[in-house]
Chains A and B, each alone.
Chain A
Amino acid sequence: MSSIRLGEYLVQRGLITEQQLAVALQQQERTGERLGRLLLILGFIRRLDLGRALADLWNLPFITITDTALVPAVAQRFPLDATMRFRAVPLRDDGTTLTVAVADAPTAELRETLAVVYPGRTLDIRVTTEWDIDQAIGLANRRKVVDASIYGLYFRDQSESAFTVFTLPQYVLFGALIILVLAGLWSAPYATLLAINVPITIFFLTVIIFRTVVGISGAASETTVSVTADELRALDERDLPIYSILVPAYREAAVLPQLLRSLKALDYPADKLDILLLLEEDDPSTLAAAKAAAPGANVRILVVPAGQPQTKPKACNVGLLFALGEYLVIYDAEDQPESDQLKKAVLAFRRGPAELVCLQAALNYYNASENFLTRMFTLEYSFWFDYLLPGLDKLRMPIPLGGTSNHFKTKVLRDLGGWDPFNVTEDADLGIRAAMHGYRVGIVNSTTFEEANKNVGNWIRQRSRWIKGYMQTALVFSRDPMGLVRRAGLRQTLGFTLLIAGTPLIFLLQPISVLLTIGWVITRTTALDPLFPPIILYLSLFNLLLGNALAIYINMFAVFRRGLHGLVLFSLLNPFYWVLHSIAAYKALGQLFTRPYYWEKTTHGLTRHPAAATH
């Protein structure tokens, strides 16, 4: 059935006007998208009318699933992946006739698959809307969707899931270490403390060198731009694929209008956007706000079935099941991505190697100047996303993804098992997992602006979750260290160890180091001398003085590069900011044992910065 015929039919039926058809065809010329979808996106036609028209044209009856008795057992017999792939839901089966709802023209492959799963049935295929299909899947496959979103990764490969916090060998190892240290402290305290101090000092030094080298490599990467403005201009929109945008939102009613504005501002054909708002069952206010906002036809509201753990990755996994796009990106509810981000990602994916599975866009804050905390947070993010991650990319080391603005090849993401709902930094975990499977994570030169946490309590909650997630990730991938080296290689393992395991460790050790230094400066005691033989003393001093100076200096340049001149001097205050990290790290450590999967919710919408409203 050609598009022209659909258009003509709709005009004949008086469902659209000639002018509307002309506009839609013009749009189709530009983007190459299907006419029906275009008319929906443009708001020229209602879903039901389009569905009925398609049914007429395909000579099939029309059905609305919500008005039809759906037999869950029948629908559940059809595998979930086939349901998703064909966008087809078997509704009823009386032993001889199988009633199936479809949103797309039924293909021979669909008929063959149905014949295999429901042998001997006569097919009664009926047309419905995309919306009805989603609802039917949710109704009929609730248990499957919950299981897939929670245990998908665990059943695929338990060793990669954070469901088990500590394995038995890890318990034994940590237990043995603690016993050894306690015994040492009892029998030879100074020698034991020295034995602890030496590896810690060397570890600090290694992390400093690592971060400096990576930071400078990242800074140097500004000379190579992944996607230029000229390349964007030359892009033919007809070649653009469907892009799914997952937006998990929990108790975010306040920022929803801003989110929809930001998504609307994206420079990507609206008819090629597949936006999925992932809302939780126990969050009626956000659901009501979403419905009230009347988002366009390219926005689907998916209610994530309740089930523990109730985490963002679980919601994302539900979104992944329903996503239609060739590529997929995650945004948080308060995100304001730069308008060209999706096009840049498409170009970067196409130009990148086959193993490039994910692209991370930079994150930064629109309310940097709001208070001390937002300034420090912006400094940190500018270094992390503008220098550190590009540096890791350049040095071919694993990149821990950063929460939002992660762009994926949808198929590969499914192959990887999606996100780990038991890991509270599912993004970082996924980045490392991709690297461990031989895939690459890259960087795309576009920024998403977010709301920086302006409240200390809120900040510590958020940060403790991140650090706990890093601890979980470190524990997951260190279960088989030799296997890790074999699979990922020495360089990737080194990068993983220093960044993922190293970051929480540094924050945990830092207060001890600072307290020792302050104590010594005040008292000038000689009691610490045995712990610092000459070479260890020199290395410790190097770490303290040059390590901090280098970190501060590179951070200065990161904000300078963004034109945030007012923040350059604030970089000097980083040591005070790091104290907050340590507080969060100890909280995270406690939670790792008591509530490993607990998702410390970050409250958004606290900012009074005008950019939050205008962007």
Chain B
Amino acid sequence: MVSPATPPPLPTEPRAPRWVRATLALLAALPPAVAAWLLIGEGWRSDPHGAFIQRVLFAADRGRLELLGFEYPPLPFLLLLPSPTDYWAVALGAFGLMGLAWYVVDECTSRRTILPYLLLLAILWTPLGLHFTAGNFNEALGLAALFVGWRHYRRWWSTRRTIHGLYTGLWLGLAFYSSPLGLGLALIAGAILPVLFPRLQIPPFASQMVLLVFPGFAATVTWAYLSWVFTGRVAFPFTPWERDSPAILELLRWTIPYLVVSAAALVRPKATTAGMLLPFLLLAAATQTGWHFSLAFAATLLMLVAIVALPRDVSRLQRWSLVVLAAGQAVASWWFIPLPTPSDADRRDRAVAQALAVAPPRSILVDDRRADGLLKWVPSLDAYLTTRDIGFDLAVGMPREAVQYVLVTEDADGLSLDAARHPPAGFVEDWSWSGYTLYRLPNAPRLPVRFSAAIAPPARGLLR
């Protein structure tokens, strides 16, 4: 028995001052953030942001956190609680990107080249980067946690300092609250340990595996227990928001620098090569198992891996080749990837949502499962009585006694009232427009919709 083995002191790597790192990180994240803000000004709200905000507004209005529901992932809901707005969502996405850039600046200073930073910009300053601020801030945060966890994982087995193992577990555990890939990466990272260390005995292998996956499993159990406490049912946390993951070939098209660096690494394979292939294996496995992610998420992750795995002895020619490749990819993404654009349907939904916002509390009966397009735009859920409210079933049975308005969609009302065809008993049709019909009690005030919203010409903005 002896004290824990103390690894020899590591050579101190040069690091840029904090203010330099912060400035460069801000600089990297600013364009996608500004572009997202401009989009919001033009009336854009992505479906994921709309869903997150709607759910948080609901919990905030009712004063009970558990009304967030136990849909996965929980992190975006919790982070939006202080301010359930588009702007805060964009700020959070930008914060995630800043985190990524912060670590990439570290790579630049230790390598004494700005190549890593340029490679990062080649992806962040494109529509792919915009996805993290305007499309789904949760993916930016998940990606940042995943990347930092992976970076610590590499350090763990290269320096043998357990603190990096601890950080790996904690970051991947945190990532799991944003993306199931956190647990996936932990599992794969553990599984490849015998590849990295061929003489690894079973006890240390088993213990390291436990250390890597415990936070993810603890998060799963936590989430399942919480859902059981509040709903009586155990929610399994794998209901993804992003249902369509890009195909592997599609993905590879947008990660040319990663392919080049990987190919170069495979020519002279070392233990580190396994670490480099790990995220790709993770993404490939995820598409097969139904764990979903966006193209932006995957492409950025692989680009980050390429940056970290970049050999230190890159020649000038190789450096310039990589820059050209990355620039070409950036241009191509501007060319081929469509920019988010507010649709006419969005505008109409928003107009309806704003009109109904003036209704008294719990006065509008609505099936939120059907009217999600509308509810995505509501400034508050105070006015609505939804399926998640305790009095919903009672209101459906006796709408006249419970609410003043009934809102239905054109295909089906979801309320078992057959309201898509005729008004519920005691109600009159107030208006029917843009796929929505509002019934009201005769003595209830009218809630006018700005019908002109439908025919307003689309605004011309920076991104169109």
Contacts and interface: CB of A to CB of B under 8 A. Distances in A.
Given A222-B6, A557-B211, 18 more contacts: A219-B162, A225-B9, A366-B1, A445-B3, A534-B65, A541-B229, A545-B218, A545-B225, A549-B214, A549-B218, A552-B218, A553-B211, A556-B214, A557-B166, A560-B165, A560-B208, A560-B211, A562-B3
Contact of A538 (B65, B165, B203): B65
A71 interface: no
Interface in A360-380: 362, 364, 366
A79 interface: no
B162 A225 contact: no
B65 A219 contact: no
Contacts of A490: none
Contacts of B218: 545-546, 549, 552-553
Given A225-B9, A338-B3, A538-B65, A219 B163 contact: yes
A13 interface: no
Q: Which 4 A-B pairs have the closest CB atoms?
A: A565-B203, A565-B207, A568-B207, A549-B218
B161 A362 contact: no
Interface string A530-553: 000010001001000110010011
A187 B258 CA distance: 71
Given A225-B9, A553-B214, A541 B226 contact: yes
B227 to A, nearest CB: 12
Contacts of B222: 545-546, 549
B1 A449 contact: yes
B4 interface: yes
A223 B8 CA distance: 9
Nearest to B226: A541
Contact of B206 (A216, A541, A565): A565
Contacts of B337: none
Interface in B393-412: none
Contacts of A538: 65
A386 interface: yes
Interface string B331-343: 0000000000000
A50 B455 CA distance: 113
Interface in B159-186: 161-163, 165-166, 169-170
Nearest to A611: B1
B2 interface: yes
Contacts of B63: 534
Given A534-B64, A541-B226, A220 B211 contact: no
Contacts of B214: 549, 552-553, 556
12 contacts: A219-B163, A338-B2, A362-B3, A549-B222, A553-B169, A553-B211, A557-B166, A557-B211, A560-B207, A563-B5, A569-B207, A569-B210
A223 B1 contact: no
A219 B229 contact: no
A454 B175 CA distance: 40
Contacts of A225: 6, 9
B226 A556 contact: no
Q: Which of A216, A338, A449, A545 has the most CB of B within 10 A?
A: A545
A561 B4 contact: yes
A220 B163 CA distance: 5
A554 interface: yes
A225 B9 CA distance: 8
A216 B162 CA distance: 11
A364 B1 contact: yes
A222 B162 CA distance: 8
Interface string A344-374: 0000000000000000001010100000000
A556 B217 CA distance: 14
Nearest to B5: A563
A447 interface: yes
Contacts of B4: 222, 386, 561-563
Interface string A206-221: 0000000000100110
B101 to A, nearest CB: 23
Interface of A: 216, 219-220, 222-223, 225, 228, 338, 362, 364, 366, 386, 445-447, 449, 534, 538, 541, 545-546, 549, 552-554, 556-557, 560-563, 565-566, 568-569, 611, 615
How many of chain B's residues touch chain A, expressed as a range?
Answer: 20 to 34
A299 to B, nearest CB: 25
Contacts of A565: 203-204, 206-207
B32 interface: no
A557 B3 CA distance: 14
Contacts of A554: 166
Contacts of B10: 223
Given A222-B161, A565-B203, A568-B210, A216 B166 contact: yes
Contact of B226 (A366, A545, A561): A545
B215 interface: yes
Contacts of A216: 166
A338 B3 CA distance: 8
Nearest to A447: B3
A219 to B, nearest CB: 5
A549 B5 CA distance: 26
Interface string B1-22: 1111110011000000000000
B226 A553 contact: no
Contact of B3 (A446, A546, A611): A446
Nearest to A520: B229
Contacts of B2: 338, 447
A565 B161 CA distance: 15
A136 B369 CA distance: 93
A160 to B, nearest CB: 33
B166 A219 contact: yes
B4 to A, nearest CB: 5
Contacts of A446: 3
A364 B225 CA distance: 36
A338 B165 CA distance: 27
Q: Which interface residue of B10, B63, B161, B162 has the most chain A CB atoms within 10 A?
A: B162
Among A223, A362, A552: residue with most chain B CB under 10 A: A223
Nearest to A227: B6
A565 B203 CA distance: 6
Interface string B179-222: 00000000000000000000000011011101100110010011
Nearest to A382: B4
A556 B218 CA distance: 13
Contacts of A615: 1
B121 to A, nearest CB: 31
Contacts of B208: 560
Contacts of A545: 218, 221-222, 225-226
A560 B203 CA distance: 10
Nearest to A212: B170
B120 to A, nearest CB: 27
A557 B9 contact: no
A566 B210 CA distance: 11
A556 B211 contact: yes
B246 to A, nearest CB: 34
A395 B165 CA distance: 21
B225 A561 contact: no
B211 A223 contact: no
From B4, B170, B226, name the one whose CB has the most chain A CB atoms within 10 angstroms: B4
Contacts of B5: 563
A514 to B, nearest CB: 15
A299 B5 CA distance: 32
B73 to A, nearest CB: 16
A216 B4 CA distance: 17
B211 A568 contact: yes
Contacts of B169: 553, 557
A568 B214 CA distance: 11
A14 B182 CA distance: 80
A58 B161 CA distance: 59
Contacts of B203: 565-566
B1 A557 contact: no
Contacts of B65: 534, 538
A556 B204 CA distance: 12
B403 to A, nearest CB: 25
